Amino acid sequence: MPDVSPPPPLLAARGLSFSRNDTPVFGPLDLDVARGEALLVRGGNGAGKTTLLRVLAGLLRTDAGTIEVGGRGASPATRARAIAYLGHLPAFKADLGALENLAFLCGLHGLRAARDPERALALVGLAGYEETPARQLSAGQKKRLSLARMWLSPAPLWLLDEPYANLDLEGVDLVNRLVRAHLEDGGAALVTTHGAYAAPPVRTRTLTLGDAAEPPSAGAPTAMAAGGSHAAAAPGRRDAG
């Protein structure tokens, strides 16, 4: 008889919590993100969004709880294969050109089939900046270069920390188009935002951290239009410090 059990979520966390100096930052929280889904992580300044993404990426150690990637314990090797992380500080070599930076990072993290750095630069609006050293790029251009790196990555799970920051309106639309195409390709994404920008119109759930957190919801993901708002996946709280 064929195995009809559904595939495990790309990312699953149970009872995840994190504290600093005995002050809880978030959790305990549960979340699942399947292929084809986005999880929008909302919350005000200091609510714990970056901390959550860093915990999921393995850059910070959780106090309690479990994280699985593709149904397996999230070892460093599993994470390295499955996760591409866009953080606040772009990981570029200041003196290398935009194209060289992308080629260098593809050498480190791999390259998705049928994609190349030159096409990535054009896609994010940086055609003509191939030779420009990263240090000469504006904040928004650096963010676009980071988005090019995500597009080139073979990893299916994107962790995007404030991807809309520093971008003009066309850049905001670019983020949403890239996320949408990634999900349609079978990938998944966690996207943090202060709430100023809407998530892409795809299968998106919302997790709210901080005081405004709503009770846990076991509901299925909903198709949403940009600007919609949805049930939180788990409780969180705002850190006092």
CA 229, 187, 67, 238 torsion: positive or negative?
Answer: negative
Counting contacts by CB under 6 A, is residue 119 touching ligand ATP? no
Cβ-contact 110, 154 below 8 angstroms: yes
Residues 222 to 241: which contact ligand ATP by CB under 6 A?
239, 241
Q: Quick one: tokens of 120? A: 């990535």
Q: Distance between alpha carbon 141 and the CA centroid of its chain, in Å? A: 19
Q: Using the minimum distance from each CB to ligand ATP, give the nearer residue, 87 or 140.
A: 87
DSSP state of 27: E
Counting contacts by CB under 6 A, is residue 57 touching ligand ATP? no
Q: Using the minimum distance from each CB to ligand ATP, give the nearer residue, 156 or 236.
A: 236
DSSP state of 225: -
CA 107, 112, 117, 118 torsion: positive or negative?
Answer: positive
**Least distance from ligand ATP to the Cβ atom of residue 38, Å:** 18
Count of residues of this chain found to bind ligand ATP when the rule CB under 6 A is applied: 13
Q: Tell me how far apart the alpha carbons of residues 90 and 87 are, in angstroms, rounded to a whole number.
A: 7
Residues 179 to 198: which contact ligand ATP by CB under 6 A?
194
Of 8, 15, 46, 133, which lies in the binding site for ligand ATP, with binding defined by CB under 6 A? 46
Q: Which residues bind ligand ATP (CB under 6 A)?
A: 20, 25, 43, 45-51, 194, 239, 241
